[in-house]
Structure 1
């Protein structure tokens, strides 16, 4: 959520940010005008309430003076005025809550402001390559992961559809173990070498938890909700980031770095017809998430550090990839700047996203009321939050299968995973 004081002081800054985000002139102007009008109404009402409270306090004092002067008529008149003011104040406080909620609702659907360095653009075609690593393996006979998996008899989409419908997969045998190995390898790398603390968080969360990271109210259709009103997490970012909700942290406790391997659940409401075959876009998938909570002046350095941590996973698996800086039109709602890591898939002969690393500034912290107290300062500040995939396990499985496939349809197990696979060097059809 954006700071209403900043919007009040810099309405042109918000208008420009919304234009960069893809709104047209009329939409941007209407958004700015609406939020300022709600803020003006709220502030005017609070000012009137303040005057009413001052008059009530003054009248209460005058009652004592009137009684001291034995002016019962004046005392009765003042008591009637105080009683009337009390009723008006109670009604006014209820109205203030309504105005406050209306302003919050307007702010809740305004996206974060992109940093100046973020490239302008409309969609993924305008993203900018930041750096590359490795030489993409180009194989004339390369198969896509679903053909490889079905050929091995270890990836079953038909039975998954029988159980759950489209966009689900059943993995068996060596591929099931390979996916488990990938998740464990990532956790061990991030906790053992990158300084992240492993967390096992809840997979079901309340409305306010989804709200804190910006998933609600704007993106409810992308989520799964249970019959008791809880939400299945679309990523462990939701649970991990909210661990500091409504807390004031000591400056010395920052940065807080957390990682989790969890199932993730997404409705994929906006992706009809995209990646319908295979495991690229599933309703349920596993992901290792990275979350950092930092002081305001440390978040940009932390962003680069998080990116490097995610990249290291792909380097050790021997996968070619590129890092792109997302343009303003392709960034997530809560992000100020995002790097995507795109891994090379020989079967598709294309780079596909396997990780997104975003710095959110204080956007999520304002929604969560998560603050810290800088050393030698009496006042508090909002923390900065960052999140990144470290990385998507299912997509890593796809990349390993397609990159390390052999012409006979078997899969060579990367060296980094063999210790997790009981020394197995190759997955072949039995």
Structure 2
């Protein structure tokens, strides 16, 4: 007799069906094996399942237990296989009815006391389950997030005993509700920026057309200040963009209490970030900063200080709008349609050029410093703006008449005109 339950394996933002099969066979040497190209986190599920059973007052049968994760040639990574293995094992030993798991997929990590801990990727798992015509069993902490998948049956128990009681008819679990759609946090206002009218105009043009932008100027000229005000003048995410972005954030474990927002992402990694941190990678191929900024802004301050290898790894994502992380046994795709905004000093000394505090090694210092950024990457930056130092006269001026709200209205009108023009040409 074989008990089965469905779960998923994540391949980028896509989730692939995996069938968890548990079989018990008589033996003189009781054992518990997990097979099917499982990584160490999945292999360790044996001990977490064993501990959870002990926490519920259950004993594993004195037989040979084999948990097979099919298809066997797909790599299985992560701790979300704990719950489906435990459920299939319970069905195999008769704790829950054998047919109770029909029509359900499950994800979740088990604690040694039987509690079900949250996992990353609940939203993509719910979307995949809905596509397969299945419901999803997920941890209570992920229920509000998974409910954003739409018309998908959901169960979100806090513990394994709640789930057992539900399937045995002792307790009925209600479907979780979707989390709040939070308002965008108050963004910094363009009224705070005095002077730099040319740079502010470039920022507005970049926002209207989705252009990549580079600010070059001495320290204190307001480059970072201007970049941080870009999200405030961008239009909110559409419904489709919200789902795309939220699925990436779900895989990164960045959705708190199922709360989503229409504010566009703004990611500003430190210049010590590695290539894997920017484009994605690691043992479980997590999304990188360029994917976490999908449909939003990726801000690279001190651009030449990033390693040349890390910067050049962004060339293809900026061109194609996606990241492909190649491994020996798989190719993982993440969306990466971002607006790049970068800032840099003219030279390593900071100031560069003539005038007070000028670099004494110019122009060689400027040439060497700016040469750290490759030409092909600069070719992908549409607007390159020199930001001059702010003078005392600029700081003495009253606040500008126009702020973020007025510029955002013009940006929204420009994007609507572009959309209407594109429909006419289609």
**Quick check: which one's helix share is greater?**
1
TM value normalised by structure 2: 0.30
| Greater RCO (CA < 8 Å, at least 6 residues apart) | 1
